Structures are given as C-alpha cells and as structure tokens.
Chains A and B, each alone.
Chain A
C-alpha cells in the first residue's frame, strides 16, 4: 500500500474525528443542535490560512484576502482554534430557548448557507469562489513538506492532537459539569429550575465545539494547502451529523467511529469501486450522498442510539459506611434540612396581597398567608382556584402583578426561580420531570447546588479537583435513597422506573438541594395509596427535623392524615385554614367544592 495513501488516511481520520468530537460534545452530550457547525471548521481553516499566508501582494498577487501576516507554526493553529471559538458567540442567539427547536435548526442551516454565499461572492475577503491556495505548511522553510518523514510527522501530530481532544472532551463529559450538560439535554426546563444557567452552558458548548472544529480546520488547511467555499457547504454539516448519529451520539468513541465510517469510510470506499467509462462520471459521488441520506434515516428509525450507544454511568456505592473511629476529623452529621432554615425564624414563608391575572381572569386575588417552620401545610381547592398559579409565584416561575413574598424574612418577590432554589426554597413539578437518560443517582447528584466540578473550569481541572465534593454529594444521595427505600434503584435509568417511583425521585431530588422549604406540586398524583401514605410519613419525618413543606394535593385523605394546617383556596383567594376535620365542617368550604 502506498505510504502516502496511509498518511492521507490518517490525517483525514484525525481531522474528521476531531470535528466529530466537537459535534458530539455539542449535540450528543449537551443537546445543542447546531446545523451551522461547519462554519466553525471553515472559520478555523480560513484563520489558519490568513495567518500563515504572506501578504496578498506576494506570489504574483492573484489572490486577494484579508490578513496575510506570514506567522510561523504553531500560531496559525492556535489562531484557528481561537477564531472557531469566538465565531460561535453570535450563534448563541439562535440557540436560545424561546424558538421552536426545528425553526432554530433551520435558522442555523440557513446561516451556514448564507455565510458560504457571502464568502463565495465577496472576493476581497477570502478570495471568493476560488478560495485560498499556496497556504504555507508548518515549518516548511526548515523541512521539506514533500518528504515522507515530514508527512509521517504531520500525520502523527494530527492523530496525537485528536487523541488529546478526545481525552479533553472525555474529562469534561465525565465530570459533574458533563452530567449537568446531559441533564440540560434531557429536560432543559427542569435543569433551569434546578439552578443551571442554560445560556452560559450552551454558550460554553458552542465556543468549545467551535474551537475544536476550528482547530480541525486549521490542521486540514495546513495539510491540503487550499481552502475554498466548496469544501464547506451545508452538506458537509449533514455528513458530520450523520457520522455522529451513526457512530453513537452521546458516546465520544462513537463519534470517532462515526468519523471513520462516514467521512473517511465513504471517501475510501470509492477507491475500490471499479470505474467504467460507460457509467456517468459523477454516479459514484451521487450514490454516496444517497447512501448517507439513507443511513441517516435508517439509523434514526432503527437504531437512534447509534452503533456505540451512550454508556450508563454506574456509581458504585461502598458496601458499609466507614467505622467512625477511622475518621480523623469529626464530620458534621448529614442532615437533609438546611440548618439556616431549621434553626431560623418562626415564619418561613410569608406573602402579602399576591395578585396575578391570566387572560383577563383574576387567577390569584390578594393572597396573604404565612407558613410556619416545621409544618406540613396543605393547599387545596377546586379546579381553577389558583393553587398552581400561587405555587408558581412562590417558586419564582411566575411574577406577581402585585404583592410581596418573603422567605426567612428576606424579600424575594423579584428573585428568579433558580436563585430561590439556591436560597433553599425548592419546588417539585407535577408532570414527569426526571432526567430520563440519567440514572437515579445521577438525577439526585444533578440537584446538588455547589459542586466544584459543576463548571467548565472545574471540569477541566480534573477529577482530583472535584472528587471531594462529588463524594460528599454521593454520600448525601445515598442517605436520601435509603430514606425512601430506593437504594437498589440507584443505577437504573430514571426513565425506566414506575410512575410512583418517579414521583419519589422528584422529591428526593428536591432534597438534594438541602432545602429549607419545599413546595410540592401534587406529589401523590397517580400514586398508589400505600406509596402515597409512605411518602406522607417521610414528609412528616422531615418536618420534625425542621423542614417546612407547602403541598398542593387533591387526594384529601392525605391532607386529612398528614397536613396541619390546610389552606383552602377558591376563586383565587384564601377561603379558610385549619385541619381537614375543621374544614369539612365549614359550610363555605363544602360549598366551594360542590359549587366547583
């Protein structure tokens, strides 16, 4: 086999794998579907080119382009990565949450086509359609780029850099930060409510993926010495997506495999197909595209997880807790309730005159109530009474039209939801909101507010940096799992649990945030009565430890058995307050329910 053929293969494999790793990190792990991905590789390629090229007047001046500073290796490659990352920043606007997913995807695709169009037509920028050529190769003044030794070194460098990128993205993905990214991918609304800054996470991923793609473009450009718009149309993005989907989105080895199978594999397969003059010349390339399209559709239908699916992250729990004598320093006992709240003011939550309208109807009408520490307060009322709206305002997902809310004496009326969660006021959701493709343990760990590994910097710093915080989080999670009897399910995917168990995950996850007060939204909905009673007992136990709980529920038997006081709402206002027995005896409460 021709030695230069192997070198060519290695370099293309390295470059494509690197680009796919960047895409895998963005799309597979973080769920950021960036159909403009090729732009970053293109930008990196152009950046490396104009950094390495001499001024445009050189070489007979037949190319026109910006830049041309003739900078030595490795500046062009570093520049490529930086430009790739920086150019990702404007893309953050289209990847925001407000726009429907498929609309945003189309917008990104169109942006890629537009930029290609501009680069093709605006010649002074990057030599337009013809592209840039005669791009200097690294250290070409000192070594001969045609020699086998040079080329082998180049290939080695490409492969090594790709391996380094692989280790880098793996380090990020296997950290608490990576877990947060996957949680955002699974359910961004819930991740937001847990205090994760979605915008900063997505921006980080766009820049990181952009930098990796940029570097891959820089390496490629330095090898082929030319770069034109034809090399980066929208079809190239589709090829990379196909590679990641087929190889396995969410698995970095899968991304590498996909890169080898699709961009590289297709290129190589054509060498072995005999050409014939009777066939049209472009038949094979056309059929390649047809095959890629077919593979995309077939894989998405039959094996959407790809050839190498995402691995389950199993966290082994040590069998027995270490003997107390072995512990050098005495540790504070693990509590589930935030001490500041358990030992804090008597009135944990207080509202005054909360009002909110919805579509012309007054959903909440001047609600003033106070919740005392250590109580399991129920909130009931017929449909349309305003309970959900009130809860949303207390949690911070809805702004009141007027009125104030105070938590532990501090005014939180304008505080956003995720910050209330960090203060210790945590809510659960009515509808299914577990992270399905994370294990139960990971679901719990994702709710821990302060983990050093839960930031890009912390992830890059490596395991040793965040191992301590992670161990503490795991210990806490274990405590919570044991309390609710789900320790055996710790390493099951949360999506595989029964409805009742998923409700428990919801509550357990709220406890991981070390709350001072819980806002529970119909925690027993659809739950078997026995399990509901279990949950009730656990909640009561928590209240004895100093937790304060406000719970919206319809199953009034639960209210009866566990809640005191119970607040009745009707038509947006508080009607009465007391035990269920007392309320049942009050006419206006009975009327409210029967009148509906």
Chain B
C-alpha cells in the first residue's frame, strides 16, 4: 500500500488564458481548473496548445491575457521559482531531470526550498512511493531508463509536497504497461492524497480512466469539457477529439 502522502491541496484556477511565444498567440481564452483531491486532464491533438498552457501556468511562456490563481495567490506571469514557492510542482515532458546529477542529488534539488533537516525525511518518503529509485541513488540521472527517469522527475516534484501537480505527457515514450502503472498508481495516488492534479496527455483512453474532469483542446481553444462519462455520451466527442469539428460557427451535433 503506497504511503499516505498527506498533501495539502490547493485549487488551481486558470481563467481566460491567452499566451504565446511572441507574435500570434498559441492558446486563446482558455479556462481550466484543478480541484484538490481530483484529477483534471487535458487531451487533444498535437499543436492544440496543451504543453503551452502548462508552461504559461508556471511562468515559462508569457501570458498576454487572463489570470492564474493558486489558492488565493495570483501567480500570473510570476517567474518559475516563485510559482514553485506558491506550491506548484511541474513535471515537463522533456528535460525533466538534471542529467549530470545523481538520483539523490536530483531529489535534493527537488527539496531545495526545504529546511536542511527536512530533506532526508522527504527523500525517504519519496523512496517509499518509488522504491525502485532507492537502488539507484548514486547513479547519474542521465543513465536512467525512460520509466525510471519519469519516476525520478515525479519524485523530484514530490519532495516539496506541492498542493498542485502539473504533469506534461508523463507517459510519452513509456511502454504501455509502464504508462498504465504510472497513471493508475502514482498519478491517482497524488490526487487521493489531497493534491490537485492537472495532467496533459495524448493517451486519451488511459487518462480518461483516472480523470474526474476532462478538457478537450483543439486549435488553441477548449472545444469541450466535462466528466469522462458526460463526454463519452456526446456523439461529437470522438469527432471533436479527432480534430477541428468543434467550430463555433457550426451547431453542436451536426456532422
């Protein structure tokens, strides 16, 4: 039985986010939220802006309109180090570990904001969640396999007990079985422990199985949202997911 994590959850509310890399915005007027204790997932084809949205929430991509609230705190366009201090843990899709540093040192960096005495205890807690990491503490992170790196990336984020977890396609490049294990065991446990989880995924089927709330993105906008059950019942869900039919000009349900 995985250790009880006891995370203090914080609600994440992103309202009307328009953001981009300069020039034309990649995402327009997106409103999503993540509730403590629940898993919210963002699905949609490539190029729909999912990664950009997460990056704009943690201060990597500039937000030109809208607000991001973590709990009561406005973190819109705050630098990433401040967003981390607000209680947000972000696991990027690539470049998610410090390659030249050992596994232990990666975790220590994850616990950078902790007091000196707390670090060892937090590392033990993370190892209880990801026991495989315990055997590799001295190994450079760059030498880990794909699945082990993802575990390390998530463990690094766990060190700080964040109230909000943002995960960018954590199962990309993982074998289906490992991916399923990651989602069902670890991601679901994060929410079960009290944190708010916002996860972006391409593997829609797998993530819908654990999601409480789903947003379908397309062309930089939210095309539809609801619980998996609600969306599954909609005739245009698959079409919308397979692209571009969620045109605002067309009435919903038309083929």
Contacts and interface: CB of A to CB of B under 8 A. Distances in A.
Query: Is A bound to B?
Result: yes
Interface of A: 361, 382-384, 498-500, 522, 525-526, 529, 554-560, 584, 590-591, 593-596
Contacts of A383: 46, 169, 172, 202
B206 A590 contact: no
A325 to B, nearest CB: 47
A391 to B, nearest CB: 14
Given A382-B202, A596-B206, 10 more contacts: A383-B202, A525-B47, A554-B46, A557-B244, A557-B247, A584-B238, A590-B242, A594-B208, A596-B201, A596-B205
A595 B204 contact: yes
19 contacts: A382-B45, A383-B46, A522-B47, A554-B47, A556-B45, A556-B242, A556-B244, A557-B244, A559-B243, A584-B238, A591-B205, A593-B45, A593-B242, A594-B203, A594-B205, A596-B202, A596-B203, A596-B204, A596-B206
B173 interface: yes
A559 to B, nearest CB: 7
Nearest to B20: A526
Contacts of A594: 203-205, 208, 238, 241
Contacts of A593: 45, 204, 241-242
Contacts of A559: 243
A596 B245 CA distance: 19
Contacts, number: 72
Given A382-B202, A555-B47, A555-B244, A499 B238 contact: no
B219 interface: yes
Contacts of B46: 382-383, 554
Contacts of A522: 47
Interface string B165-208: 00001011100100000000000000000000000011111101
Of all A-B residue pairs in the complex, the 4 with the closest CB atoms, nearest first, are A556-B243, A557-B244, A596-B203, A596-B202
A559 B45 CA distance: 14
Contacts of B245: 557
B127 interface: no
Given A554-B46, A591-B205, A595-B203, A526 B243 contact: no
A595 B48 CA distance: 17
A244 B51 CA distance: 43
A568 to B, nearest CB: 10
Interface in B204-251: 204-206, 208, 219, 238-239, 241-245, 247
Interface residues of B, number: 28
A554 B172 contact: no
A555 B48 CA distance: 9
A384 B23 contact: no
A437 to B, nearest CB: 17
A526 B220 CA distance: 9
B47 A584 contact: no
B219 A555 contact: yes
Interface of B: 23-24, 26, 45-48, 169, 171-173, 176, 201-206, 208, 219, 238-239, 241-245, 247
Contacts of A584: 238-239, 242
A361 B172 CA distance: 12
A274 B169 CA distance: 71
- In this complex, the member of A382, A525, A556 whose beta carbon has the largest number of chain B beta carbons within 10 angstroms is A556
A557 B169 CA distance: 24
Contacts of B205: 591, 594-596
A355 to B, nearest CB: 19
Contact of A361 (B173, B176, B239): B173
Contacts of B242: 556, 584, 590, 593
A384 B173 contact: yes
Contacts of A382: 45-46, 202
- In this complex, the member of B173, B202, B245, B247 whose beta carbon has the largest number of chain A beta carbons within 10 angstroms is B202
B171 to A, nearest CB: 8
B105 to A, nearest CB: 24
B137 to A, nearest CB: 25
A525 B46 CA distance: 10
A557 B248 CA distance: 13
A502 to B, nearest CB: 9
Nearest to A526: B24
Contacts of A554: 45-48, 243
Nearest to B208: A594
A499 B239 contact: no
Nearest to B49: A526
- In this complex, the member of A554, A555, A594 whose beta carbon has the largest number of chain B beta carbons within 10 angstroms is A594
B24 A500 contact: yes
Nearest to A522: B47
Contacts of A590: 238, 242
A499 B220 CA distance: 15
A584 B172 CA distance: 24
- In this complex, the member of B176, B239, B244 whose beta carbon has the largest number of chain A beta carbons within 10 angstroms is B244
A361 B45 CA distance: 22
B199 to A, nearest CB: 12
Nearest to A583: B242
B49 to A, nearest CB: 10
A552 B61 CA distance: 26
Contacts of A498: 23-24
A584 B237 CA distance: 12
A555 B243 contact: yes
Contacts of A557: 243-245, 247
Contacts of B241: 593-594
Contacts of B201: 596
Contacts of A558: 244
A442 to B, nearest CB: 22
A584 to B, nearest CB: 6
Contacts of A556: 45, 242-244
A556 to B, nearest CB: 3
- In this complex, the member of A384, A526, A559 whose beta carbon has the largest number of chain B beta carbons within 10 angstroms is A526
Contacts of B23: 498-499
A559 B244 CA distance: 10
Contacts of B26: 526
B24 A499 contact: yes
- In this complex, the member of B46, B169, B176, B203 whose beta carbon has the largest number of chain A beta carbons within 10 angstroms is B46
Contacts of A499: 23-24
Nearest to B238: A590
